[in-house]
């Protein structure tokens, strides 16, 4: 809808209420992480003591470290595999089993976690992998690579193939063309794919619970086991840190993006003026 006309009162109300609904719970959670009282829902004055105790909670810190390592490794591997998958889907419209392949790319996007987790666990047991850090990582690669594939694929669909033809026309063989032209041009989509994979890995509770073993407890697993015992300000503090980290990352990325966009627009206007 390209209207720049008035934004009606109904529309403003809908958006405001919607965003209040989306953000209020998170805001409350953050606010009560600074609560001096041990009761999470009764305000007892401002305090940062839960953050201090958080950093002395060795179990939580270990879990955070495991989560970050799993996230970094799985996101990177998933980005490579997902980009290849996206290329296969967009560039090769005919190969044996393409239907099955695209099914396997799209299905994990909506597959309930419990099924993914259970099936991967049973695979690891069947082939005799010891459950732990690497099984969680493999599981995360598998379900996040599909998200990467979808992100990269949507960029590839709008990719101007004549860029590659121009490179070949100018003498670059196909593989060289891919690395010198295609990859740099779709790089922003690959980076967003990586970020998405990393966050999904960071967030995952269910798949990790199934596929993890002793010594490889991830942060969501740790938080979950504490949440089951009840709401505590310490968990609020841990959640707040996670939210802050992710929000900062996303904000920096989008601000950088926005500035690039604005700069680009300004350049283009300047170019048109001559």
218 with 70: CB under 8 angstroms? yes
For another protein, give the closer residue by CB, 55 or 179: 179
Other Cβ atoms less than 10 A from the Cβ of 48: the count is 12
Minimum CB–partner distance for residue 48 and another protein (Å)? 19
Whole-number Cα distances in Å, 219 to 22, 23, 63, 139, 205:
23, 23, 5, 16, 8
Phi/psi region, residue 230 (left: phi>0; alpha: psi -120 to 50; beta: rest), is left
Minimum CB–partner distance for residue 216 and another protein (Å)? 16
For another protein, give the closer residue by CB, 142 or 217: 142
Minimum CB–partner distance for residue 26 and another protein (Å)? 6
211 with 124: CB under 8 angstroms? yes
What are the beta bridge partners of residue 35? 46
Structure tokens at 95: 């190969």
Minimum CB–partner distance for residue 243 and another protein (Å)? 5
For another protein, give the closer residue by CB, 18 or 215: 18
Minimum CB–partner distance for residue 171 and another protein (Å)? 3
Minimum CB–partner distance for residue 47 and another protein (Å)? 17
Residue in 212, 205, 211, 224 with CA at minimum distance from that of residue 118? 211
Phi first, then psi, for residue 35 (nearest 5°) are -85, 130
Distance CA 142, CA 200 (A): 12
| Residue 158 DSSP code | T
For another protein, give the closer residue by CB, 61 or 185: 185
Distance CA 206, CA 112 (A): 9
């Amino acid at each position: 809808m390209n209207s720049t006309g008035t934004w009606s009162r109904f529309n403003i109300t809908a958006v405001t209420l919607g965003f209040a609904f989306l953000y209020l719970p998170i805001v409350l959670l953050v606010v009560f992480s600074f609560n001096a009282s041990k009761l999470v829902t009764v305000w007892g004055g401002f305090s940062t003591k839960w953050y201090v105790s958080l950093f002395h909670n060795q179990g939580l810190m270990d879990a955070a470290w495991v989560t970050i390592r799993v996230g970094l490794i799985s996101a990177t591997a998933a980005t490579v595999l997902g980009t290849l998958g996206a290329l296969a889907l967009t560039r090769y419209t005919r190969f044996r089993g393409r239907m099955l392949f695209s099914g396997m790319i799209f299905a994990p996007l909506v597959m309930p976690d419990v099924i993914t987790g259970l099936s991967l666990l049973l695979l690891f047991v069947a082939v005799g992998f010891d459950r732990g850090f690497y099984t969680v990582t493999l599981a995360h690669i598998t379900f996040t690579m599909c998200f990467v594939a979808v992100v990269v694929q949507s960029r590839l669909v709008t990719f101007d193939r004549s860029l590659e033809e121009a490179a070949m026309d100018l003498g670059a063989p196909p593989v060289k063309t891919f690395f010198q032209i295609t990859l740099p041009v779709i790089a922003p989509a690959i980076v967003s794919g990586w970020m998405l994979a990393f966050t999904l890995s960071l967030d995952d509770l269910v798949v990790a619970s199934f596929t993890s073993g002793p010594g490889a407890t991830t942060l969501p697993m740790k938080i979950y086991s504490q949440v089951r015992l009840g709401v505590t300000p310490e968990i609020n503090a841990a959640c707040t840190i996670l939210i802050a980290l992710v929000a900062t990352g996303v904000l920096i990325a989008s601000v950088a993006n926005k500035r690039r966009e604005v700069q680009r627009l300004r350049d283009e206007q300047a170019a048109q003026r001559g």
